[in-house]
Structure 1
Amino acid sequence: MNQFTKAVKSLAAKYNETSLILRIAIGLLVGAALALICPGAVWLEEFGSLFVGALKGIAPVLVFVIVASALAQGSSKLDRRFGTVVWLYMLTTFVAAALSVVTSKLFPQTLVLAEAATADVVPQGLGDVMHTLLANIVSNPVASIMNGNYIGILMWACLFGLAMKRLGSDTTKNFMANTADAVSTIVRWIINLAPFGIMGLVFASVSDNGLSIFTQYGRLLLLLVGTMLLMALVINPLIIFIYLHRNPYPLVLRCLRESGLTAFFTRSSAANIPVNMSLCEKLGLDKDIYSVSIPLGATINMDGAAITITIMTLAAANTLGMEVSLPAAILLSIMSALGACGASGVAGGSLLLIPMACSLFGISNDIAMQVVGVGFIIGVIQDSVETALNSAGDVEFAATAEYHQWLKEGKPLPDFMA
C-alpha cells in the first residue's frame, strides 16, 4: 500500500510540474483520438460536463467574495484605470460591429433558411435588451449568484463590501479576506484539472459533430470566423499598440493561449472568469481593479457577439434582396454593439439578439428566427470562436489599461512586454 501511495504521489507531482498549457494540449489530442477510436464511450463526456459545471458553479461565488473583500478592506480604488477598461470594452465592441459591416460588404453572404428556431424569450427591440440589463442590476442577490447574473453580483458585492467596511471590525475583514483566499484556492484546484475537462469537451464535440458543419454553411462560417480572427489578431493589437506603444503580440498571444483556449472549449464567458482572474494575477495586475473589470467584461466586452449579430443580420438582408445604406449600416453597428452588451442576460446568447437587429430593416420575426436556426447549426464553431475572442479580450484590455497607467507613472512593464 505504501508503494502504491508513493507511486500516486510521484505521478501527481509530475502532473503538477508539467506546464498547464502542455497538459491541456495533451488532453485535447487524447480527446480527439478517443472520439475517432471509440465514439461510443459517451461516459468520457462527463469529464467535460463536470469541468464546465464546476467553473460555472464557483465563478459567481468567486466574484462576489473577491469584490466584497477588496471593498471591505478599504483597498479598492476604481480610479481612471477602470474607466479606461470600460472605454476599451465598449470601443472594441462597436469597432467589431463596424468591421463586420465592411467584411459583409466585401464578401456578401446569403442563407439557405432552415427550420425556424424556437425560444421562450426573444427581445423585440433594443429597449427590451436594455430593460433586461437594468433589471439584472437590482435582481435578488441570492438569485444573482445562483443564476450567474454578474451585473447583479457586482452591484450587491459592492454594496455588501462597503457596508462591511463601515460596520465590520478587523476580525470581520480578516474573515472576508480568508474567505476570498479560500475560494481562490478552490478555483486553482479546478483549473488544475482543466486537461481532463478539455479532453471530455473535445471528445463530445468531435464524436457528435464531425466535419459536417463545414459543408452547407461553410462560406458563412468562414466569414464569421475570419472576421473574429481579424479582430483578435489585427484590430485589438492595433488598439493596444496605440495605448502602450509596445509590441502588443506578446500580450495578445498569451491571452489567447491561456484564456482563449479554455474559453473555446467551455463556450462560456462566465465559466472562464476564474481562468481570467488567474491570468490577471500572473500578469501582475491590481486585484482591486481586475476583480471588478473581468466579470464586467464578461457582460459588456462582446466583440464576438457584435460580429455574429451584424453578419447574420446582413446575410438575412442579402437573402431577401435588401440594399443596406451606409447610415443604416452605422445604425446597425450601434444597435449590435449595445445589444451585444446585453447578450449574457438573454437565454441563448448572441444568436437570440438577431431578431432585434433584423427588425431594423423590417425583416419579420418568422424569417429572423429561421436565421437564428442557421446560427444554431454552425454554433459549434461560431460560438466557440466568439467566446474565445470575448474572453481573451477581457484580459487584454484590463492589462492594457493597467500598463498604460504604469507607463504614465514611469514604472517598467513586465519583462514579456519590454
Structure 2
Amino acid sequence: MTASSPSLWLRLKRLSLVTQIIIGLIAGIALALFAPEVAKSTAFIGKVFVSALKAVAPILVFVLVMASIANHKHGQETHIRPILFLYLLGTFAAAVVAVVASTLFPSSLVLATHDVAITAPGGISEVLQSLLLSVVDNPVSALMNANFIGILAWAIGMGVAIRHAGDTTREVLGDLSNGVTLIVRLVIRFAPLGIFGLVASTLATSGFGALIGYVHLLAVLLGCMLFVALVMNPVIVFWKLRRNPYPLVLMCLRESGITAFFTRSSAANIPVNLELSKRLGLHEDTYSVSIPLGATINMAGAAITITVLTLAAVHTLGIAVDIPTAILLSIVAAICACGASGVAGGSLLLIPLACSLFGIPSEIAMQVVAVGFIIGVLQDSAETALNSSTDVLFTAAACLGEEAKAERLA
C-alpha cells in the first residue's frame, strides 16, 4: 500500500487543474449523497478556500496593476479601450436577450409577505454616486473591504506616479508583483479541495428541494445565461476575431467558469482569471487591468438576473410592457449590473431599482429579491460563472483581435 501511494499522488499531480477540480466535484456530490452529515462538516474547507481567494485578490490587483503601469514602456499598446467596449456591449446584449426570453416565456411568482431586511438602492443616481464614492475611497479601506473600484483607482494613480521613479524602485515593485503572484498560484492549487468542500456542504445542507417550485423561472434564467455564453458571446468574439470562436469560448468556460460557479464571487475568481490570461499569452499590462475591471463592470449574468426577475414580477402583476419600456429596462439593467457587487447575491439587491420603472412598490420588489435568494443555489452560481468567464473571453478577444489587425496592416 505504501509503495503505491507515491505513484497515485504523482498521477494526481500530473492531471490538469480542471481535471482535479472535476474529481473534487464528483467526490463532493458522492459524499453529500451517501454521508450528508459528514458532508456538512466539509463547509469549513470550502470557506477556507474562498476566504483565501478573497484575501489575496485585493492585494494582488493593487500590486499587479501598479507594477504593470509603473513598468509600462512608452508606445506599448494595452487594448483597454476595445475591451471596455466589449464589456459594455456584452452586458447590454445579455439584458436584451433576457427581455426577449421573458416575453416569449413569461414567468409567474407567488408573491407574499416576506420579512427580508435588505437595503436596496433608491435610484440610478444612487448607484452612480456609490460608484463615484468607491473611486475616492481610502486606499486602506478599499483593500480591507475588497472595493475593487477604489483599489483600481489607487493602483492606477500610484502606477503613473512610480513611472517617474528610478529603475531600482520599479524593479522592486516588479519583484513584489512576482512574489504575490506566486502566493496566488499556491492558493489556486488548492481549488480541487476547496470545491470538494463547497459542493459537499451545499448539497448536504440545501439540496435542490427548494428549487422545485421555481423550475420555470430557473429555466428562463439559466436558458438566457446558456444562450449568452454559447451563442451571443461567440457571435461577439467572432465579430472581433473573424475566426471560429468556440475553442476560446469553451476554454474560458471550462477553466474560469467552473471555479466561479462554486465560489460564487467574481472578486474571488480574479486570481484564477489572471492565471488563465497569462497561460493564454495575453499581455500583462492589459489583463492586469482588464480582469479586475471586468469583475466590477462586466456583469452579463447580473443583467439577466435583474431583467428576468423584474419582468416576472411585472407579468405576475399584469403590467403591460411596450417596446420603448423594454429597451429602457435593458439599459437600466445594464447600468445596474455594472454597479452590482462582486460578491454572492450582489445583483439581487438591484432588482427593486429596476422594478421601480414599472411603479412596483418596494414591499413587492423585496419579495422578488427573496425569491432570488431561494433559487440562488443555482442562479447565483451560473451568473458568476458567466460573468467571470466572460472577463477572460473578452480580454483575449480584444487582445488577439487588435494583434491580428496590426498584422494585417503591417
Q: TM-score range by the shorter chain?
A: over 0.9
Q: CA deviation at 1:121?
A: 2.6
Match of 2:349 among 349, 352, 358: 352
User: Is structure 2 residue 307 aligned with structure 1 residue 310?
Assistant: yes
| Partner secondary structure for residue 42 of structure 2 | helix
User: Which amino acid letter does the alignment assign opposite residue 406 of structure 1?
Assistant: E
Matches within 5 A, 1:307-346: 307-344=304-341
User: Which amino acid letter does the alignment assign opposite residue 290 of structure 1?
Assistant: Y
Matches within 5 A, 1:1-16: 13-16=10-13
The residue aligned with 1:378 is 375
Q: CA deviation at 1:34?
A: 0.7
Q: 8 Å contact 1:69–1:177 — kept in the other structure?
A: yes
| Partner secondary structure for residue 210 of structure 1 | coil
Match of 1:125 among 115, 123, 126: 123
Q: How many residues align?
A: 407
Distance 1:120 1:140, change over 3 A: farther
Distance 1:39 1:137, change over 3 A: same
Q: Which runs of 4+ in 1 moved over 4 A?
A: 6-13, 76-80, 345-348
Match of 1:230 among 207, 215, 227: 227
CA distance in 2 between counterparts of 1:15 and 1:191 reads 15
Match of 2:398 among 396, 401, 404: 401
What are the superposed Cα offsets for residues 129-150 of structure 1, whole Å, 9 maximum, x if unpaired?
Answer: 1111111001011111111111
CA distance in 1 between counterparts of 2:28 and 2:81 reads 42
Distance 1:215 1:76, change over 3 A: farther
User: Is structure 2 residue 256 aligned with structure 1 residue 241?
Assistant: no
Matches within 5 A, 1:137-286: 137-167=135-165, 169-286=166-283
| Partner secondary structure for residue 36 of structure 1 | helix
User: Which amino acid letter does the alignment assign opposite residue 66 of structure 1?
Assistant: L
User: Is structure 2 residue 31 aligned with structure 1 residue 23?
Assistant: no
Distance 1:67 1:7, change over 3 A: farther
Moved more, 252-261 or 105-114: 105-114
| Partner secondary structure for residue 260 of structure 2 | helix
| Partner secondary structure for residue 37 of structure 2 | coil
CA distance in 2 between counterparts of 1:77 and 1:296 reads 22
CA distance in 2 between counterparts of 1:337 and 1:179 reads 36
Q: 8 Å contact 1:116–1:371 — kept in the other structure?
A: no
User: Which amino acid letter does the alignment assign opposite residue 59 of structure 2?
Assistant: V
Q: 8 Å contact 2:298–2:387 — kept in the other structure?
A: yes
Match of 1:59 among 48, 57, 69: 57
Flag structure 2 segments of 5+ consecutive residues without an equivalent: none
Q: CA deviation at 1:11?
A: 5.9
Q: 8 Å contact 1:77–1:289 — kept in the other structure?
A: no
* CA RMSD across the alignment: 1.9
CA distance in 2 between counterparts of 1:352 and 1:78 reads 40
The residue aligned with 1:300 is 297
Q: 8 Å contact 2:274–2:288 — kept in the other structure?
A: yes
Q: CA deviation at 1:14?
A: 3.8
What are the superposed Cα offsets for residues 167-194 of structure 1, whole Å, 9 maximum, x if unpaired?
Answer: 3x22221211111001111111111111
The residue aligned with 1:416 is none
Q: CA deviation at 1:156?
A: 0.2
Q: CA deviation at 1:75?
A: 3.4
CA distance in 2 between counterparts of 1:396 and 1:256 reads 9
| Partner secondary structure for residue 215 of structure 1 | helix
CA distance in 2 between counterparts of 1:117 and 1:400 reads 45
Q: CA deviation at 1:348?
A: 4.3
Distance 1:117 1:398, change over 3 A: farther
CA distance in 2 between counterparts of 1:172 and 1:195 reads 38
What are the superposed Cα offsets for residues 326-371 of structure 1, whole Å, 9 maximum, x if unpaired?
Answer: 1111101000000110001799410010000000010000000000
| Partner secondary structure for residue 288 of structure 1 | helix
Flag structure 1 segments of 5+ consecutive residues without an equivalent: 412-418
| Partner secondary structure for residue 322 of structure 1 | coil
What are the superposed Cα offsets for residues 42-94 of structure 1, whole Å, 9 maximum, x if unpaired?
Answer: 32111111111000100011100011111222338784721100000001101
Distance 1:129 1:239, change over 3 A: same
| Partner secondary structure for residue 268 of structure 1 | coil
Q: 8 Å contact 1:116–1:372 — kept in the other structure?
A: no
Distance 1:185 1:115, change over 3 A: farther
User: Which amino acid letter does the alignment assign opposite residue 242 of structure 1?
Assistant: W
Q: In percent, how many aligned pairs have the same letter?
A: 54
| Partner secondary structure for residue 122 of structure 1 | coil
CA distance in 2 between counterparts of 1:268 and 1:114 reads 29
User: Which amino acid letter does the alignment assign opposite residue 365 of structure 1?
Assistant: S
User: Which amino acid letter does the alignment assign opposite residue 157 of structure 2?
Assistant: L
CA distance in 1 between counterparts of 2:286 and 2:78 reads 10
What are the superposed Cα offsets for residues 110-143 of structure 1, whole Å, 9 maximum, x if unpaired?
Answer: 1012543534431011111111111100101111
User: Which amino acid letter does the alignment assign opposite residue 180 of structure 1?
Assistant: S
Match of 1:88 among 86, 92, 97: 86
What are the superposed Cα offsets for residues 255-292 of structure 1, whole Å, 9 maximum, x if unpaired?
Answer: 00000000000000000000000000011100000000
CA distance in 2 between counterparts of 1:334 and 1:381 reads 25
TM-score norm. by structure 1 comes to 0.93
The residue aligned with 1:36 is 33
User: Which amino acid letter does the alignment assign opposite residue 180 of structure 2?
Assistant: V
TM-score norm. by structure 2 comes to 0.95
